[in-house]
Amino acid sequence: MFNPDLQQVSEIIARVSREEVLPRFQHLSVSDIDTKGSDEDLVTTADVETEKRLTRELTALMPDSVVVGEEAAFKDPSVLDHLTGDRPVWVIDPVDGTMNFAYGRSEIGVVVALVYKGETVAGWLYNPVYKRMIMGEKGGGAWFEDKRLKVAAVTELHKMTGVVGRHVAFKDERLPKPVWWGSASFDYMLVVSGGVHYSAYRTRTIKPWDHAAGVMLHAEAGGYTAYVDGTPYAPVMGMKHLISAPDKDAWEYLKNNLRAKID
């Protein structure tokens, strides 16, 4: 498989974000916002147009590749079959944290992962508001500009800081209360760069556009990720909860301290 230049892809992501996301940030009209499966599952014009542009430009960069985009998969779930095929797959979340975006909050991201034969081989996390890009490829580390990133070191397990999705809480009352930002890509940028120790998600479906890039980059920064039943993460539609931690001991501590689901 042809491996694209990381910087070339990052430039495409940054340019498309500059042209499709930023002009609409804090400038959405009512007609720019719609809902999908529920009132909390939003889609905006920025999501749709960014995914179209990234699909066109990334497949031009790698002509044999296909795309699994969040918006395309919502309209046609058969698109997800690409994830188990033999062709390179660009997995795209055009605007991660759409609710934040709709309310003008900066905790958003444009996310791209490259998956090949069931494995994430490269990933990009980009916050277009702060113009911050984390990228890397399997075996090559996770990078912010010219700095190789490393997960936060653990001194005492009960002092770890973290970011979580909804419905996540822990039994150990000594553990600092984790933060919910409403954007998995924003979370992974913090975890991969060592800003916090862990992330944890307890959702009905673990979606590849939310996690494929972040999990791979976290591993490249030295971290450990697995579903709560202990099986390794895979970039597919998963029905399992997911924890990323600095190492396996920290992961075990978090898994064993998860509270029952909070409704």
Q: What is the pLDDT of residues 125-165, one digit of tens each?
A: 999 999 999 999 999 999 999 999 999 999 999 999 999 99
pLDDT band, residue 1 (cuts 50/70/90): low
**155 CB contacts (<8 Å, ≥6 apart)?**
none
Kindly report the average pLDDT of the chain as a whole number: 93
* Residues 53, 16 contacting (CB under 8 angstroms): yes
Q: Residue 48's CB: how many other CB atoms inside 10 A?
A: 18
Q: Residue 249's CB: how many other CB atoms inside 10 A?
A: 12
The pLDDT of residue 263 is 40
pLDDT of 262 above 60: no
pLDDT band, residue 30 (cuts 50/70/90): confident
Phi-psi region of 51 (alpha: psi -120 to 50; beta: other; left: phi over 0): alpha
pLDDT of 260 above 90: no
Q: What is the pLDDT of residues 167-179, one digit of tens each?
A: 899 999 999 999 9
Domains of the chain: 6-148 (3.30.540.10), 157-256 (3.40.190.80)
* Residues 209, 123 contacting (CB under 8 angstroms): no
The pLDDT of residue 2 is 65
Reduce the DSSP state of residue 156 to 3 states and report it: coil
Question: Model's pTM, two decimal places?
Answer: 0.94
Weakest mean pLDDT among 27-31, 188-192, 252-256: 27-31
Please give the share of the chain, as a percent, with pLDDT higher than 70: 97
Tokens linked to 136: 């890397």
